[in-house]
């Protein structure tokens, strides 16, 4: 297999290689001298992919199927566990499921190619029985309880349920105790056969390896016709542009109140390049307005409204997009009021050049820092794999962003009916209120 494209950013000393295997698998290799070599395998199957059509049929999957499948792909027909096998070979494996993807990964300091072949062979060879599926249910049920007992997890979960009315993004990635009981070996095999195909996967290797060796391993693993298991089409998901709930209050066993604010993005570009640019705009806006050194964060902390600067996240996928910020705060009402007031004032005055320059410097510094890490770059390069976008262009594009453009984007996304505020208060406040 030949390398299709070499991506080089001369100004930032970054170079990586991209090729498409004959099976349809996209392969990305980022050579870097470091102690650990990382391999990440991304599958385009997440919690929102619960309805699709294939072979003239429409399939509906129980909530949590993608996460359940992630757990069971570590099982092998020989009865051994993939994680244990890799650990015996000196590698550390893990996996996660999000709304739009499932990612398997491992890292090691030696015997990388040996581990890679074991890893790919296992993750792409499903094996389920009624007994092993039943055995997994209490494990996932315990995980559901664990997340439910974490206040921050409950807070952000409720935020998604407030942002979305009908979209499956409002449901927990791991599903619920009722939905996972509906998962069967047949459902898992159906999901694997239609989604775990090489053309719906991407492999990224970052560290010390050899592209020819990686290619040869892929020939052995994917060269047996697995690319033609099945072809499916995700069914359209209907969702209103406005939020489902603008304000929600929860009570939990916490000592300090918490708040989460979400901005729902309804106009999502379907073109990968445009979505890539939108992601940069939103990340820059979020960093400038709500980052740790922003006027907003420093003011809230100095006035003791917030305990610490808010945590922020930007999600941009084909079907969902939103900005979220959350924080522990002594006065949630004051925090919410300051948020709306601060954004209103920013819209009036516009985002300033000095703020944009500060955002550029911060994002550029983070990018350079990540480029020295095999772990970070394997994640970054893989995140853009399905979109055909070169992430090294992030810096170049970012440098051309103007205050006027960011102000325009902020104005387009900031409307009150697209913002949800979820507050979590200590239970004792609720008890005093009812007495």
Q: Which of 16, 7, 26, 123 is nearest to 385 (CA)?
A: 26
pTM of the model: 0.91
Confidence (pLDDT) at 5:
60
Confidence (pLDDT) at 404:
96
The secondary structure element, H or E, covering residue 287 is helix 272-290
φ, ψ at 51 (rounded to 5°): -140, 125
Confidence (pLDDT) at 432:
45
- Give the 3-state secondary structure of residue 270: coil
- Quick one: how many helices (H) and strands (E) in the chain? 16, 15
Tokens of 209: 């390896």
pLDDT by residue for the chain (435 residues), tens only, comes to 455 566 655 455 678 888 999 899 999 999 998 899 999 999 999 999 999 999 889 999 999 999 999 999 999 999 899 999 999 999 999 999 999 999 999 999 999 999 999 999 999 999 999 999 999 999 999 999 999 999 999 999 999 999 999 999 999 999 999 999 999 999 999 999 999 999 999 999 999 999 999 999 999 999 855 444 557 888 888 899 999 999 999 999 999 999 999 999 999 988 888 888 899 999 999 999 999 999 999 999 999 999 999 999 999 988 899 999 999 999 999 999 999 999 999 999 999 999 999 988 888 888 888 888 999 999 888 887 777 777 777 777 888 899 999 999 999 999 999 999 999 999 875 454 544
DSSP 6-29: EEEEGGGTEEEEEEE-TTS-EEEE
Confidence (pLDDT) at 431:
52
Where do the DSSP E strands lie in 72-155? 91-97, 102-108
Q: What is the pLDDT of residues 307-360, one digit of tens each?
A: 999 999 999 988 899 999 999 999 999 999 999 999 999 999 999 999 999 988
- In our burial notation (b when 16+ CB lie closer than 10 A, e otherwise), range 352-374 reads eeebbebbbebbeeebeeebebb
């Amino acid at each position: 297999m030949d390398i299709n494209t070499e991506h080089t950013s001369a100004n930032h000393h970054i170079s990586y290689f991209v090729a498409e295997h004959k099976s349809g698998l996209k392969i990305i290799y980022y050579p870097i001298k470091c102690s650990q070599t990382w391999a990440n395998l991304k599958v385009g199957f997440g919690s929102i992919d619960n309805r699709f059509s294939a072979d003239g049929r429409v399939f509906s999957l129980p909530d949590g199927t993608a996460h359940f499948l992630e757990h069971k792909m570590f099982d092998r027909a020989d009865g051994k566990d993939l994680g244990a096998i890799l650990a015996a070979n000196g590698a550390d494996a893990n996996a996660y499921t999000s709304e739009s993807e499932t990612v398997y990964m491992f890292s090691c300091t030696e015997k990388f190619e040996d581990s890679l072949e074991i890893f790919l062979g296992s993750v792409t060879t499903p094996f389920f029985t009624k007994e092993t599926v039943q055995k997994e249910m209490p494990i996932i049920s315990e995980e559901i309880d664990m997340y439910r007992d974490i206040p921050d997890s409950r807070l952000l979960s409720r935020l998604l349920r407030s942002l979305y009315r009908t979209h499956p993004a409002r449901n927990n990635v791991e599903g619920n105790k009722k939905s996972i009981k509906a998962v069967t070996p047949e459902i898992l095999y159906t999901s694997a056969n239609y989604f775990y195909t090489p053309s719906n996967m991407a492999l990224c290797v970052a560290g010390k390896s050899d592209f020819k060796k990686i290619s040869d391993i892929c020939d052995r693993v994917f060269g047996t016709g697995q690319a033609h298991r099945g072809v499916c089409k995700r069914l359209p998901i209907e969702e209103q542009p406005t939020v489902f709930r603008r304000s929600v209050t929860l009570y939990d066993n916490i000592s300090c109140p918490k708040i989460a604010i979400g901005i729902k993005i309804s106009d999502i570009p379907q073109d990968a390049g445009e979505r890539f640019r939108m992601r940069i705009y939103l990340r820059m806006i979020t960093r400038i307005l709500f980052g740790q050194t922003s006027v907003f964060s420093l003011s809230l902390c100095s006035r003791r409204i917030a305990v610490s600067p808010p945590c922020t996240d930007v999600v941009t996928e084909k079907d969902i997009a939103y900005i979220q910020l959350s924080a522990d705060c002594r006065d949630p009402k004051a925090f919410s009021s300051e948020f709306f007031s601060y954004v209103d004032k920013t819209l009036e005055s516009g985002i300033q050049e000095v703020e944009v320059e500060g955002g550029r410097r911060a994002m550029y510094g983070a990018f350079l820092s990540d480029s020295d890490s095999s772990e970070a770059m394997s994640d970054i390069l893989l995140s853009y794999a399905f979109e055909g976008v070169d992430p090294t262009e992030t810096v170049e594009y970012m440098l051309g962003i103007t205050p006027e453009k960011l102000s325009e984007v902020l104005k387009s996304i900031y409307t009150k009916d697209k913002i949800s505020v979820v507050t979590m208060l200590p239970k004792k406040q609720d008890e005093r209120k009812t007495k």
